Amino acid sequence: MTLNDYDTGGFYDEMFDVAGHPRPEAQLLLETIGALRDGQLERCQQAAERILVQLGITFNVYGDSAGTERPFPFDLVPRIVTSGEWDWIERGLKQRIHALNAFIDDIYHDQKIIKDGIIPEEVVRSAAFYRPQCIGINPPKGVWCHITGSDLVRHGDGQIYVLEDNLRVPSGVSYMLENRDLMKRTFPQVFAGLRVRPVLEYPSYLLETLEAIAPTGVTTKPVVVLLTPGMYNSAYFEHSYLAQKMGIPLVEGRDLVVEDHTVWMRTTKGLRRVHVIYRRIDDDFLDPETFRPDSMLGVPGLVSAYRAGRVSLANAPGNGVADDKVMYSYVPDMIRYYEGEDAIIPNVQTFLCWRETDRQHVLQNLETLVVKAANEAGGYGMLVGPHSTAAEREAFADKIRANPRNYIAQPTLALSRVPTLIGDHLEGRHVDLRPYILYGDEIRVVPGGLTRVALRKGSLVVNSSQGGGSKDTWVLSAEPGDRG
């Protein structure tokens, strides 16, 4: 397969430098791909897709009857991260998660950061996912964000930024693991000589993290379960996958019952105590007695058992306060405040529309900015300025003026690209990267992550429901040159 007509299109390409020469870390992989016979890569790709369907590695498509399942598109060309860059990412993420955890703990206790004037109280209280029900709760070891999936992007300037933190119920880690399995199965020859760091420890690390946060006083091996909304949830595959890999029961709300501030599961031999719940249900649906009374997915009394320290929840309810996009803009301040350091990985420049000067700037520059609703995800409530019409910008300006607290704006990023198999040849497509950070006794980042790719030409949207797919992420264990 020839790579001669590959065009970086003026974007930062993860495999080719500005002059179009292979980056050193991609050299070997590109040579291997270049040496493939015509059609061989496509055949591997088709084999991979067949495996996905055969194994039922799918997500559920909403709004479709009877829970239609589709495989999450997978592209065979991996994204490579050098050892040096990964070390930097790892340090940056550990620093960031440590600070965010301190922030959440502070917000539900003394609120020192507010008293010291770093973050306005109003911003905290108006955050959609701030949960006053969590005030005064002391999760084991003071850890709130046990599992985080931060989204990283590289801009045209070559710099990696944190785009958002995802501290509530981040998903996608099963694709990180499955993508690697798929690569090993369909394309084993490319691993030769590259020393790709393995990701397969993730389920063990996750289980260790969950066991580490067992309620105090539990002396036996804690009983850990994974709580799923059920098989019709879009991420059900991941729930069952992780439960299987960890060897823990996958439970639904109806399998659990709370008595005497203790959580039990209904088994064939009666009730059995549960110590730790890795819940994959949003806060609002966890416990109808505390949050949404109409939720049938959760467990009545669960939060009272949690508050009493009789069961641990991962992630802790209330984390969402830090997922607010206005709060995001304060993370560098949090890092300075709690860690006494500057942020290692920078934030994307963010304009807060409730600030008079920022708002004026945003309203005058809508055609170059990306405007986002502070509490939405999934690409909803968003305006991508350069791709918008005048009418859309006008409508968005009205929304911003009506509710400035709810909007932030950022420069439109030229996300970096990775060669991707399109038809019978490679074309550049935009990517982001979501590493997974675990926090139990210590903070750990598995070397890898989910690289999502916008498969549509020119698209910056990596969302699976909008033509996004994923790639394997190869973190190398040594700099090229000292292969051995």
Partner 1 sequence: MNTESLPLLSRVADSVCWMARYIERAENVARFIGVNLNLQIDLPLAPAHQWQPLIDTSGDAAVFKERFGVATQTRVIEYLAYDLDNPNSIASCLRFARENARSVRETISSEMWAQVNSMYLQIQSQRSLPEPERMLDAFREIRMGCHLFEGVTDATMTHNEAWHFMRLGRMLERADKTSRILDVKYFMLLPSASDVGTPYDDIHWTAVLKSVSGFEMYRKKYGRITPSDVVDFLVLDSEFPRAVRFCVTSVAESLHSITGTPVGAFRYRSEQLMGQLRAELDFTSVTTVIRNGLHEYLDRLQYKMNEIDDSLRADFAMRPPQTQSQTQTAGAAQRAGEDANSKAGA
Binding to partner 1 by CB under 8 A, coded x per residue (else -) over 57-86, reads: --xx-x---xx----x--------------
- Chain mean position to CA 228: 18
Q: Which of 142, 29, 6, 10 is nearest to 80 (CA)?
A: 29
Stretch that binds partner 1, among 138-146, 167-175, 330-338, 389-397 (CB under 8 A): 167-175
Q: Which residue among 131, 325, 452, 471 contacts partner 1 (CB under 8 A)?
A: 452
97 contacts 337 by C-beta, under 8 angstroms: no
Q: Should residue 382 be labelled a site residue for partner 1 when binding is judged by CB under 8 A?
A: yes
Name the residue type at position 62. Answer: Y
Contacts of 251 (CB under 8 A, 6+ apart): 225, 226, 227, 228, 265, 274
Q: What is the DSSP string of 177-191?
A: HHHHHHHHHH-GGGG
Residues 146-165 that bind partner 1 (CB under 8 A): 151, 153, 163-164
What string of H, E and C letters represents the secondary structure of 116-172?
Answer: CCCCCHHHHHCCCCCCHHHCCCCCHHHCCCCEEECEEEECCCCCEEEEECCCCCCCC
Q: Which residue among 265, 302, 327, 455 contacts partner 1 (CB under 8 A)?
A: 265
Binding to partner 1 by CB under 8 A, coded x per residue (else -) over 221-240, reads: x-x--x--xxxxxxxx---x
161 contacts 414 by C-beta, under 8 angstroms: no
Q: Which residue among 269, 357, 389, 458 contacts partner 1 (CB under 8 A)?
A: 269
Q: Which residue among 36, 111, 285, 405 contacts partner 1 (CB under 8 A)?
A: 285
- What's the rounded Cα separation, in Å, for the pair 12 and 249? 44
Stretch that binds partner 1, among 107-115, 184-192, 456-464, 472-480 (CB under 8 A): 456-464
Residues 333-372 that bind partner 1 (CB under 8 A): 370
User: 154 or 197, CB closer to partner 1?
Assistant: 154
Q: How far is the CB of 78 from partner 1 (least distance, A)?
A: 18
Q: Which residue among 113, 169, 206, 373 contacts partner 1 (CB under 8 A)?
A: 169
Task: Give the CA radius of gyration of the chain.
Answer: 23
User: 37 or 269, CB closer to partner 1?
Assistant: 269
Structure tokens at 155: 């801009």
Structure tokens at 94: 């550990």
Element (H, E) at 217: none
Q: How far is the CB of 119 from partner 1 (least distance, A)?
A: 23
Alpha helices in 287-389 (DSSP H): 302-307, 325-328, 331-334, 356-364
Binding to partner 1 by CB under 8 A, coded x per residue (else -) over 239-258, reads: -xx-xx---xxxxx-xx---
Strand partners, 74: 470
Residues 41-60 that bind partner 1 (CB under 8 A): 53-56, 59-60
Binding to partner 1 by CB under 8 A, coded x per residue (else -) over 290-329, reads: -----xxx--------------------------------
Q: How far apart are the first and last CA of the chain?
A: 27
User: 160 or 297, CB closer to partner 1?
Assistant: 297
Stretch that binds partner 1, among 108-116, 120-128, 197-205, 452-460 (CB under 8 A): 452-460
